[in-house]
Each structure stands twice: as C-alpha cells, then as structure tokens.
Structure 1
Amino acid sequence: MKAIRLHEFGPAENLRYEEAPDPTPDPGMVLIQVEAAGVHLVDTMIRSGSTGGSPIPVPELPTIPGREVSGRVTAVGPGVDSSWIGKRVVVHLGMVPGGYAELAVAKVESLYELPDHVDAAQAVAAIGTGRTTAGILSQAKLSADDVVLATAAAGGIGSYLVQAGRNAGATVIGLAGGPTKVDLVRSLGAQYAIDYTDPEWASALKAELGDREITVLLDGVGGASGQRAFELLGVGGRVLMFGWSGGGSIEFTHEDLMARGLTAGWALGAKMTSQLRALEAAALEETVSGRWHALTTTFPLSEAAAAHRALETRATTGKVVLIP
C-alpha cells in the first residue's frame, strides 16, 4: 500500500509518501480501505518530536501518523463477525497511529457504521474534532438566552460551535481571520462574523452589541484575540478554554473573576476522556442528521506535508483531511 511515513522527527518535509507493508488485522480487529484520514494539530507536534502536553505518546520511528479514518471494511481478524466486510465505517484509532495510509487496522468495538449519505470527510471530522466539540458543548450548556463568542470560528471546532449555538437559538459571534473566513462563518449562522485582523474589531463589536453583553466565551486560541474576547465578557459570564493556538492562554486573576462574577474552566482532559465513546456518538448523530456540517480542507494523501504546513500557518478552514 501507499502510506505517509515519518522516519525522523522534524519539519513537514520529513513526511514521506512511499510504499509500506499492508497491515493485517489481528484478533478483534478489522482492515479498512481508507477513504479519508483526519489531520490534527497534535499530528504536527508529534511530527516535530513533541506532543505539546498531550497524553498521546511520541511514537517509535518509523511511524505512519494519523488517528482518524473512514472507509470500507475489506477484511476481519479472528473472532470478528464477517458481516462487517463491505460496510462503510468511521473510527478513531486512539493512541495507535496508522491513519495516513491506503489501509488501516482498527478495533472492531471502536467502529461506527456509516450511512451512505454521509461523506467520508464529514465522518472523519465528526469522529475527532466533532467529539471534542461535543465535550465542550456538554459543559457550556448553551441556551437561547446566551450571546456566545467563539474564537477561530472558521476552524474545525469553531465552525461546529457556531452551528451548535445557532441550533440552540443563541446569538452567535464568530471571530475569523480575513474576509473569506468571515463570510464562511456568517454562512454557518453567526449573527456577527468578525475579522480579528482588524485592530478595532473589539470596539466595533461592542458598539454593534449595544446594551447586550457576551455571556459565553468559547476559546481555543488565547493570545491577543482571546484576551480581547475575554475582556468583552459581560458580568456573570462564563469562559471555557480548550487551547491556545494564538501563542498563549488567556491571562486573568482570581480578582478578575470576582470583580465581574465570571466563571472559568478548562474543557479538555479528564472531563472528556471518561466519556469519549458517548461524545463520538453524539457528534456523529449531529452529522448524520445534518444539524452539523463540517468545513473541510482536503489534500491528496501524497501531499500530507503540504497539509501540515497549511495547518501550521492557519491557511486552512475547518478540518484538514487527506484523501488516498
């Protein structure tokens, strides 16, 4: 089979598109002909030799990166019902990589069967990025009374959050970089789509909102834009953080929280790991029903290095997906 293999930690150019041995399914596992493979920001960290604090271990080399795949089952290992053969499935591979390839193996108990109308790239987005979003939303508990601000709203998680806020009846504000991404955020249902590259965006948004205050901040960016968003949060508001791709987490003190009656929390980690299967199912249900539609940026499998570079430089929208 063709696969992307990493022989040495370092830059994106170290990802090689080459021949690799076909995997065979062990007991309790299936073999999948991959139709789409997800690319995650953690993949870029692992490629460089660090997991950035993630519980995912640094793999032994050479390795085939990738932990999210969708495709069709072509063979089963010992002890697996042969009725799985021919079914379209999606799966998160967990701690074991191997997704950036034409073939991948997965545990049968981790599979979800896919209906024909669900696109392979949409399924991959749901099983990884979607499950994280579902975990954030389970803690955010959005309602029609909320005014929600989502940073990086044209990204994988952010675009889901905009749609979820819209579906809850909330007023949704989405931050994105540049006119094209702003238009995408608006098309997802955000009442306010704001270009954070405009140095006056915060004051302009405050003027537009008038007497209305932001009640919920959902932030995976941090940095300057996350900090400005935090400063806009109204009295009694709540902030849920799940990353700092902008260079650093939001900074605040206990006094900041007490003065404005705010609540703050970190959405990832133990709050999610104990319920991953339920979160995957929830994200897939939203996708199958059509209530969530993932923005995706696709690359051929052979161009995995370009996909990593684009993701690292924020030149993508939504979920990045490789197509064998």
Structure 2
Amino acid sequence: MQAWRVHRNGEPSEVMQLDETDRPTPGDGQVLIEVRAANVNFPDALLCRGQYQVRPPLPFTPGVEICGVTADGRRVLATPALPHGGLAEYVVADEAGLLPAPDSLDDAEAAALHIGYQTGWFGLHRRARLQAGETLLVHAAAGGVGSAAVQLGKAAGATVIGVVGGPEKAAVARELGCDLVIDRRSEDIVAAVKEATGGRGADVVYDPVGGDAYAKSVKCIAFEGRVLVVGFASGAIPTPGLNHALVKNYSIVGLHWGLYNTKDPAAVRACHDELTELAARGVVKPLISERVPMADAARAVQRVADGTSTGRIVVLPSGGTR
C-alpha cells in the first residue's frame, strides 16, 4: 500500500516521503481500516517536526484522524494507532475507540468532525461552561479548530467574535456565522472587543494560538470570564500573570481533550452522539476548504503548519472527491 512516512524530523514538505509499504497488522483489540478520508491537523505538522507530546519511532506515518471502512463494512471515524497514522491507504485503530460516521456527512466532512469538534464541545461546555447569551471570543476563527468552535458557540446561543489574520480569512469567518470579525493584522483586538461588549469584555475566550493572542485576551476578559487554553499554534507558550487573574477575577482553564479517551470514554461517545445530531440538523458542518489527492498530502500538511489554510484540508487516498 501507499503511505506517507517521516524518516527524519523537520518541516513536513521536506521530510514526508510517499512510500510503498506493507499494510499494518492489527494487534489485540485492533481493527484494520481502509482510509476513505484523512483530515490534516496541526499536530501532524508537530509530529513531523518532532515537537508533539507523542514522538513515535522513525519512520512513522502522520495523520491523527480518519474516516474509513472496516473489513465488515462499517463506516467509522478513528484515531489511528501511531506509528501507522492516517495518511495511508490502510490503518489500524483500537476497536473500542471507533465511532460511527454520521450519515449526514460525506467522508471528508466526517473525518473532520472528530477531534476538532470534540475539542470544541468539551472546551466550551465541560470546561468553560459557556451559557446562552454570553460572548465568546474565538482566535483563529477561520482555521480548523476555530471554525468548529464558532459553529458550536453559535449552536449554544452565544454571541461569537472571531479573530483572524487577513481579509480572506475574515470573509470565511463571516460566512461561518461570526457576529463580529476582527482582523488582528489591521485592528486592535482589545479595543474592538470592549467596544462590541459595551466595555464588559468576552465571557469565554477560545485560544488555540497562545502567545500574543493570550496576552490580548486577558486584557479584554469579562468579570468572571474564562480563558480556555486549547493549544499554542503560534509556537509561543504564555506565562500567565496569576496576580492579574486574581485582581480581575477570571479563570484560566486548560483543555487536553485526549485525556477524556482514557479518563471518561463514555463522555466522548456521548459527545459524538450530540455532534451527530447537530450535524443531522445542519447546525454544524465541517468547513472543508480543500480535498486533495494522496500525492499532495505533504504540501497540505505544510500549508497547515504555515497557517495559510482555512477550515480543513482533507486527503483522499483514492484521489476522489468524497
């Protein structure tokens, strides 16, 4: 079979190589899956660079979430077992972790419903306790993780302010349903949020960026607001001033969605059921900006690494348009 493999760490476009290799062999409790669509995530870039919290042995195949079909015909969502990631024609995954692919979504959309939307749902509902009528500030609102948070925030009845970089991404954020879009390249985030909220600030901040995004967020957070720390796509990990959190009376809330798979797997399945229902009603629908053939996977991962993509780029191993 064909699989993209990383033989040394570095930038995705330089270290990813399309190889002919054997199909992975399922171990105890695992199942072989034919990949229909593999969603590209920022962790794939970190895996290539050797900067992810998990460092699989070289060579390995990146790709942390897929939609595929099992040997007995089930259409499923899965997180492949590294080092045999999803940018391949076949993967193995734990049977216990498989989720049914929603019938209302095609393969590419279904592949993108898993990690990003689960992260958004657990972050907004379990960790930040977002309430209807509150104001939600979403950084990188036109990206894969941010676009999911925008849709979930609107579904929860929040007023959503999206922060983006550039007019193209601003247009995407507006189409997603943001009530206000702030272009960080040309606008003052803090001033714009305060003006939009009558000086109160945002009740919840969804921050997958870190760095300057976090620094700006705590300057426009509301009384009893919650800053949700999701990731550090900027590459800069903030060092919070806890004295500031104390005097301004806000919370800094961390989210590592992967822990729920081991600590509370039933909650993951319940979340999937709710996301499936939301998708069936058309309330959420993953934004797929590109569907690319297998041959273009390395370029796709590099675009995500560089932050130039919008929504999700999905790799289709058969080269189709599913």
Pair 1:242-2:247 in alignment: no
The structure-2 alpha-carbon separation of the partners of 1:266 and 1:203, relative to structure 1 and needing over 3 Å to count, comes to same
Q: Is the 8 A contact 2:165 2:184 kept in 1?
A: yes
Q: Does 1:120 align with 2:107?
A: yes
Q: Does 1:141 align with 2:129?
A: yes
Deviation at 1:199, TM superposition (A): 4.2
- Do the aligned residues in 1 keep the contact of 2:182 with 2:189 (CA within 8 Å)? yes
In the other structure, the counterpart of 2:24 is 23
| 1:182-208: CA deviation from partner (whole Å, max 9, x where unpaired) | 122122221111111114343234334
Cα deviation, residue 8, structure 1: 2.0
1:150 matched residue in structure 2:
138
Offset from partner CA, 1:20-40 (integer Å, 9 cap, x none):
113344454332221111222
- Aligned-pair distance for 1:96? 4.7
Aligned to 1:61: 58
> Does 2:295 align with 1:294?
no
Change (3 A) 1:232 1:26: closer
Out of 91-100 and 259-268, give the one that drifted further. Answer: 91-100
Give per-residue Cα distances to partners, 1:86-143, cap 9 Å, x unaligned.
Answer: 2211111255533111112223222222244321122222222222222212111111
How much is the aligned-residue C-alpha RMSD, in angstroms? 2.3
Contact 2:84 2:92 in 1 (8 A): no
Q: Helix, strand or coil for the counterpart of 2:113? A: helix
- TM-score, normalised relative to structure 1: 0.87
Aligned to 1:81: none
Do the aligned partners of residues 168 and 49 (structure 1) sit closer, same or farther apart at CA in structure 2, a change above 3 Å counting? closer
Residue 18 of structure 1: SS of its match in structure 2?
strand
Which residue is 1:80 aligned to? none
Matched position secondary structure for 1:193: strand
2:2 is aligned with what amino acid? K
Letter in 1 for 2:284: W
**Residues 261-300 of structure 1 aligned to structure 2 (within 5 Å):** 261-268=249-256, 272-273=260-261, 274-276=263-265, 278-279=267-268, 281-283=270-272, 285-287=274-276, 288-289=279-280, 290-297=282-289, 298-300=291-293
1:300 shift after superposition: 2.0
Asked if the contact 2:39/2:312 (under 8 Å) is kept, the reply is yes
- What is the 5 A alignment of 1:48-87? 48-51=49-52, 54=53, 56=54, 58-73=55-70, 75=71, 85-87=72-74
Q: Which of 1 and 2 has greater Rg?
A: 1
Conserved in 1, the CA contact under 8 Å of 2:60 and 2:82? no
Correspondence for 1:93 among 80, 83, 87: 80
Change in Cα spacing, 1:284 to 1:37, as seen in structure 2 (3 Å) is farther
Give structure 1 stretches of 5+ with no counterpart.
76-84
* Paired AA for residue 278 in structure 1: A
The Cα of 1:15 is off from its aligned counterpart by 0.8
Distance 1:188 1:262, change over 3 A: same
The question of whether the paired residues in 1 share the 8 Å contact of 2:38 and 2:87 is answered with yes
Identity %: 34
Task: Name which of 285, 299, 313 aligns with 1:320.
Answer: 313
Q: Distance in 1 between matches of 2:217 and 2:63?
A: 33
Q: From the superposition, tell whether residues 306 and 219 of structure 1 become closer, same or farther in structure 2 (CA, over 3 Å).
A: same
Secondary structure of 1:31's counterpart equals strand
The reply to whether residue 229 of structure 1 matches residue 217 of structure 2 is yes
Amino acid aligned to 1:60? P
- The size of the alignment, in residue pairs, is 310
Opposite residue 293 of structure 1, the aligned amino acid is K
Q: Which amino acid aligns with 1:3?
A: A
Check 1:43–1:115 CA distance in 2 against 1; reply closer, same or farther (3 A cut).
closer
Aligned residues of 2:118 and 2:257 also touching (Cα < 8 A) = no
- Please state whether the residue corresponding to 1:231 is helix, strand or coil: coil
Instruction: Kindly state the Cα deviation for residue 149 of structure 1 after the two structures are TM-superposed.
Output: 0.6
CA contact (8 A) 1:36 1:323 kept: yes
Deviations for 1:222-264, whole angstroms, at most 9, x for unmatched residues? 2223311220112222211111222423443222112211121
